[in-house]
Amino acid sequence: MPYLIDSDVLIDISRGNAAASEYIDALPEGWGISQVSALELIVGARDNRDLGDNRDLGEIDAFLSACVIVPLRSSTGTRAYQLLKRYAKSHGLHVFDSLVAAAAIEEGLTLVTKNRRHFGMIEGLNLAVPQY
């Protein structure tokens, strides 16, 4: 499993974006998501379809049950702390993004994200930015 998929790509998939699904399906080897991204998806789930969002908690839960979820280890927390010290003030790195980046670095995974601005400055982080 050489890839860690960020929540922005996962949200595209959960919203039925065929190009996002095709991109992930075309990755040459397996992929997973961080526990943080799983939590972000759950928080973003809507039980009320009147909001124009076709995702609900049951659909998100079913999606997550089929995913490999990369756990947050103590080394991930330590790395996230280091990343925040280095990039929070200078580049606006947020806590959740620091945890996702730290998980990718600690596990030796390439982070697949459309958000180069949030992650591009992090030394030692391998990024893949989909162009779908």
| Residues across the chain | 132
Q: Which range is least confidently modeled, 25-29, 47-51, 119-123?
A: 47-51
Sequence-distant (6+) residues with CB within 8 A of 100 are 4, 6, 7, 34, 36, 37, 111
Res 59: pLDDT: 80
pLDDT at 9 over 70: yes
Does 17 have pLDDT greater than 50? yes
What distance in Å separates the CA atoms of residue 105 and residue 102, rounded to the nearest whole number? 5
Q: What is the CATH number of the domain that holds 78?
A: 3.40.50.1010
How many domains does the chain contain in total? 1
Give the residue numbers spanning the domain of 66: 3-128
